[in-house]
Amino acid sequence: MIRQARPAEAPLLAAIVERAYGPWVPVVGRRPFPMDDDYAARIAAGEAWVLEDAGAIRGLVVIETHADHLMLDNIAVDPARQGSGEGRVLLDFVEAEARRRGLPEVRLYTNVLMERNIALYAKRGYAETERRQEKGFARVFMAKRVG
């Protein structure tokens, strides 16, 4: 089940992101941006959604609505559950949510050094649109038409 995150769950979301992104710290050379996000604020804004199974949160997405697209700001699956298809479930949700909101495109970005993620998104139909420095990170921007 995918549902909006609840205020009391902010520390749990931060902990999942900490574990999921932790292995990328040595690759990127610093903490990826989602590790320091304000999950209480994301929840209050209605931007944080969780994948729940048997009462446990297995993963999350942070999405932002823009006039012409849905921005996938962050996706994280508990490392103990990675490889189980839950990331695909969350991506399916994001794409369906864009269509539900009448938005024709999902956009996302990832670090240029996260080559595995870039390849995964490309396999899902996301096309690279740009590479640039932003907020001190070398980012790859990608987009997928969904509507």
Per cent of the chain over pLDDT 70 is: 99
Q: Retrieve residue 53's tokens.
A: 């199974």
The domain segmentation of the chain, as residue ranges, is 2-103
Contact 114, 63 (CB under 8 A): no
Give the amino acid at 71.
M
Looking at the DSSP bridge assignments, the partners of residue 78 are: none
- Supply the DSSP symbol for 3: E
What mean pLDDT, rounded, does the chain reach?
94
Please name the CATH architecture into which domain 2-103 falls. Answer: 3-Layer(aba) Sandwich (3.40)
Contact 16, 60 (CB under 8 A): yes
pLDDT confidence band for 106 (50 / 70 / 90): very high
- Supply the DSSP symbol for 100: H
At 72-102, the pLDDT tens digits run: 999 999 888 777 788 899 999 999 999 999 9
Q: Retrieve residue 55's tokens.
A: 């009462």
pLDDT confidence band for 29 (50 / 70 / 90): confident
Residue 128 has a pLDDT of 97
Most confident stretch, 56-70, 82-96, 127-141: 56-70
Mean pLDDT confidence for 65-78: 96
Cα of 101 vs its chain's centroid, Å: 18
Strand 56-65 relative to strand 48-53, pairing: antiparallel
| Distance in angstroms (rounded) separating the CA atoms of residues 112 and 3 | 30
Helix (H/G/I), strand (E/B), else coil: 8: helix
Contact 108, 98 (CB under 8 A): no
- Supply the DSSP symbol for 67: S
Looking at the DSSP bridge assignments, the partners of residue 105 are: 145
